[in-house]
Amino acid sequence: MHVRPRCAIFHISAFTASLSGVACAQIVPPDRGLSPERRTQLEQICTDTMQLSRGTTHFEDCVDVLRAAARKNDQPGAR
């Protein structure tokens, strides 16, 4: 089977991108242990205190950081 160089590069690029997407998905843990009320509270910090708009990258980054900190802080014996 003959594969054109451009086609091969495209497939390699697509495969690499899919692997990096899987790696990123595994790095960010789900909201285990955070109640819906706690998640809402953290989102309100980003909108009300930080004045960030929902749906923006900055808002998502803010929520991600606060959720990670909350998971770590809310663990038994964390204090």
**DSSP string computed for 15-59:** HHHHHHHHHHHHHS---TT--HHHHHHHHHIIIIIS-PPTTSHHH
In this prediction, residue 74 carries a pLDDT of: 77
Determine, yes or no, domain membership for 26.
yes
Domain total in the chain: 1
Q: How far apart, in whole angstroms, are the C-alpha atoms of residue 68 and residue 65?
A: 5
Determine, yes or no, domain membership for 79.
no
- Residue 26 above 50 pLDDT? no
In this prediction, residue 12 carries a pLDDT of: 55
Determine, yes or no, domain membership for 9.
yes
Domain extent, residue 57, equals: 5-73
In this prediction, residue 33 carries a pLDDT of: 72
Determine, yes or no, domain membership for 31.
yes
Determine, yes or no, domain membership for 46.
yes
Q: What is the pTM of this model?
A: 0.56
Determine, yes or no, domain membership for 78.
no
**What tens digit of pLDDT does each residue of 28-74 get?**
455 567 899 999 999 999 999 999 999 999 999 999 999 999 988 87
Determine, yes or no, domain membership for 21.
yes
- Residue 10 above 90 pLDDT? no
